[in-house]
Structure 1
Amino acid sequence: MKNNYFFTGFPGFITSSLLKELVKEEHQINHIYLLVLPQTLKQAEESLHNIPIESSKLTILTGDITKKDLNIASELMPILQESITHVFHLAAIYDIAVPKSLAEKINVHGTKMVNDWVQTLNNLKRYVYFSTAYVSGRREGNILETDLDEGQTFKNHYEQTKFVAEIEVQKIVSKVPTTIIRPGIVKGHSKTGATIKFDGPYFMLNMFEALKASPYIPYFGSGRVEGNFVPVDYVISATIYLAHVDKAIGQTYHLTDPSPYPMREVYRMLMKEYLNQSPKATVPLSVAKSFLIIPPLRKRLKIEREGLDYFTCKSHYDTTNAVRDLEGSGIQCPDFKETVAKMVEYYRIHKDDETKHIQIK
Structure 2
Amino acid sequence: MANHMMMTGFPGFISQRLYRALAADDATTRFTFLIHPSQMEKASRLTSSDPRVTLLVGDITKLDLGVSSEDIKALSETVTHFFHLAAIYDLAVPKDLAYQVNVIGTENVNQFLKSLSSLDRYIYFSTAYVSGDRTGRVLENELDEGQGFKNYYEETKFEAEKRVVALEGVPTTIIRPGVVVGDSASGETIKFDGPYFMLRFLDKLPLGPVPYLGKGNEVLNIVPVDFIIRATVYLAKSEQAVGKALHLTDSSPYPAREIYRMFCRELLAKKPTYNFPKSIAQILLKFSTVRRYLELGPETIAYIYHPSVYDSTEATRILSEGGIHCPDLVDYVPNMVRFFREHRGDSTMKVALQ
* Same fold by TM-score greater than 0.5: yes
Secondary structure of the corresponding residue to residue 77 of structure 2: helix
Match of 1:45 in 2: 44
Secondary structure of the corresponding residue to residue 59 of structure 1: strand
CA distance in structure 2 between the partners assigned to 1:77 and 1:167 by the alignment: 25
CA distance in structure 1 between the partners assigned to 2:353 and 2:40 by the alignment: 25
CA distance in structure 2 between the partners assigned to 1:351 and 1:73 by the alignment: 43
- Whether the aligned pair in 1 keeps the contact of 2:121 and 2:170 (CA below 8 Å) is yes
- Whether the aligned pair in 2 keeps the contact of 1:129 and 1:178 (CA below 8 Å) is yes
Match of 1:131 in 2: 126
Q: Does 1:35 align with 2:34?
A: yes
Deviation at 1:119, TM superposition (A): 1.3
One-letter amino acid of the structure 2 residue matched with residue 43 of structure 1? K
CA distance in structure 2 between the partners assigned to 1:359 and 1:147 by the alignment: 34
CA distance in structure 2 between the partners assigned to 1:27 and 1:128 by the alignment: 20
**TM-score scaled to structure 2, two decimals?**
0.98
CA distance in structure 1 between the partners assigned to 2:308 and 2:163 by the alignment: 24
- Whether the aligned pair in 1 keeps the contact of 2:4 and 2:78 (CA below 8 Å) is yes
CA distance in structure 1 between the partners assigned to 2:225 and 2:51 by the alignment: 28
Q: Does 1:207 align with 2:201?
A: yes
Deviations 1:287-340 (A, max 9, x none): 111111111221222222200002432111000110111122111000000010
Q: Does 1:150 align with 2:172?
A: no
Secondary structure of the corresponding residue to residue 127 of structure 1: strand
Match of 1:241 in 2: 234
**Kindly, what percent of the aligned residue pairs are identical?**
47
Equivalent runs, 1:116-127 vs 2, <5 Å = 116-127=111-122
- Whether the aligned pair in 1 keeps the contact of 2:220 and 2:305 (CA below 8 Å) is no
One-letter amino acid of the structure 2 residue matched with residue 205 of structure 1? L
Match of 1:78 in 2: 73
CA distance in structure 2 between the partners assigned to 1:60 and 1:300 by the alignment: 41
Match of 2:8 in 1: 8
CA distance in structure 1 between the partners assigned to 2:33 and 2:353 by the alignment: 29
* Corresponding residue to 1:263 among 239, 253, 256: 256
- Whether the aligned pair in 2 keeps the contact of 1:221 and 1:311 (CA below 8 Å) is no
Deviates more, 1:291-300 or 1:243-252: 291-300
Equivalent runs, 1:1-361 vs 2, <5 Å = 1-26=1-26, 28-29=28-29, 31-48=30-47, 55-172=50-167, 174-212=168-206, 214-361=207-354
- Whether the aligned pair in 1 keeps the contact of 2:184 and 2:336 (CA below 8 Å) is yes
- Whether the aligned pair in 2 keeps the contact of 1:248 and 1:325 (CA below 8 Å) is yes
CA distance in structure 2 between the partners assigned to 1:27 and 1:230 by the alignment: 28
Secondary structure of the corresponding residue to residue 55 of structure 1: coil
Structure 1: stretches of 5+ with no match in the other structure:
none
Deviates more, 1:185-194 or 1:309-318: 309-318
- Count of residues in Structure 1 that have an aligned counterpart in Structure 2: 354
Deviation at 1:73, TM superposition (A): 2.6
CA distance in structure 2 between the partners assigned to 1:187 and 1:244 by the alignment: 24
Q: Is the alpha carbon distance of 1:45 and 1:296 closer, same or farther for their aligned partners in structure 2, counting shifts above 3 Å?
A: farther
Deviation at 1:222, TM superposition (A): 1.1
Secondary structure of the corresponding residue to residue 175 of structure 2: strand
One-letter amino acid of the structure 2 residue matched with residue 121 of structure 1? L
Flag as ranges the 4+ runs of structure 1 deviating above 2 A: 46-49
- Whether the aligned pair in 2 keeps the contact of 1:142 and 1:318 (CA below 8 Å) is yes
CA distance in structure 1 between the partners assigned to 2:81 and 2:303 by the alignment: 34
One-letter amino acid of the structure 1 residue matched with residue 37 of structure 2? P
One-letter amino acid of the structure 2 residue matched with residue 244 of structure 1? K
Structure 2: stretches of 5+ with no match in the other structure:
none
Deviation at 1:175, TM superposition (A): 1.1
CA distance in structure 1 between the partners assigned to 2:25 and 2:6 by the alignment: 17
CA distance in structure 1 between the partners assigned to 2:285 and 2:199 by the alignment: 16
CA distance in structure 2 between the partners assigned to 1:15 and 1:210 by the alignment: 32
Deviation at 1:209, TM superposition (A): 1.1
- Whether the aligned pair in 2 keeps the contact of 1:6 and 1:35 (CA below 8 Å) is yes
One-letter amino acid of the structure 1 residue matched with residue 252 of structure 2? S
Deviation at 1:74, TM superposition (A): 2.7
- Whether the aligned pair in 2 keeps the contact of 1:93 and 1:106 (CA below 8 Å) is yes
- Whether the aligned pair in 1 keeps the contact of 2:47 and 2:53 (CA below 8 Å) is no
Secondary structure of the corresponding residue to residue 176 of structure 2: strand
CA distance in structure 2 between the partners assigned to 1:177 and 1:295 by the alignment: 46
One-letter amino acid of the structure 2 residue matched with residue 39 of structure 1? S
One-letter amino acid of the structure 2 residue matched with residue 344 of structure 1? V
CA distance in structure 1 between the partners assigned to 2:27 and 2:277 by the alignment: 50
Deviation at 1:27, TM superposition (A): 6.3
CA distance in structure 1 between the partners assigned to 2:196 and 2:260 by the alignment: 10
